[in-house]
Amino acid sequence: PVVVRSAADLGDAPGNRLDGLVIPGGESTTMSTLLVAFEMLAPLRELIGAGLPAYGSCAGMIMLADRVEGAQEGQAFLGGIDMTVRRNAFGRQIDSHEEDLRVEGIAGGPLRAVFIRAPWVEEVGSDVEILATTRAGRAAGASGSDGGRIVAVRQGTLLATSFHPEVGGDHRVHDVFVSMVTRRA
Ligand code: GLN
């Protein structure tokens, strides 16, 4: 992996070419501000639109959403996945939780999912595969087929999860992303 910090890291210089992009968790309003300040919004939108595989977890999921509920005024997103994501959907930081999830396409038993002031997906377009739903937040009107909230999705070369697989030491979600990248390369 290489760290992408500025638009120069996205250029065509030898050794610069990205095969895939991971947008980590964090805080999506800060990410928006920095993407604008470092002039990375337009080039990243272009790369993602051209089929660069990208995986977003938590705030990264928010960045990949075409529609966001609870966005800060003027907040910019990369978009790409035909979904509506609700920021801070499970509640405040104190409502963060862990849960064992069954994720479509991931064998070997449930995945320990860590949700940290996480978003959930309110609705998806017809091209979006729903990979996991959570029991937490199950409620009337929830859009997962089992009444749970949608927390993992894939559309073409884009993957997103509400939770943080990187903090659990279980690499199976990253394996899915790596195979999406290698399939395309
Ligand atoms: N609540 C954060 C946001 O809205 C996301 C939290 C996270 O990435 N763990 O951007």
Which atom of ligand 1 approaches the CA of 87 most closely? 4
Residue with CA at minimum distance from ligand 1 atom 5:
59
Residue 101 tokens, joined: 């999830």
pTM of the predicted model, to two decimals? 0.92
The per-residue pLDDT of the chain, averaged, comes to 90
The CA-atom distances, in angstroms, between 175 and each of 70, 118, 179 are 31, 22, 6
Length of the chain: 185
What's the 163 CA to ligand 1 centre distance in angstroms? Answer: 10
Residue 129 known to be catalytic: no
pLDDT per residue, tens digit, the chain (185 aa), is 889 988 888 876 656 678 999 999 999 999 999 999 999 999 999 999 999 999 999 999 999 999 999 999 999 999 999 999 999 998 888 778 899 999 999 999 999 999 999 999 999 999 999 999 987 655 545 555 556 899 999 999 999 999 999 887 899 999 999 999 998 76
Which atom of ligand 1 approaches the CA of 58 most closely? 8
Please count the other Cβ atoms lying within 10 Å of the Cβ belonging to residue 43. Answer: 15
β-strand 149-155 against 129-134: which pairing, if any?
Answer: antiparallel
| DSSP 8-state symbol, 128 | P
The CA-atom distances, in angstroms, between 64 and each of 32, 111, 148, 177 are 11, 22, 21, 15
Of 69, 99, 166, 174, which residue is the catalytic one? 166
The angle formed by the CA atoms of residues 127, 119 and 38, to the nearest 5 degrees, is 85
Quick: pLDDT tens for 131-182.
999 876 555 455 555 568 999 999 999 999 999 998 878 999 999 999 999 9
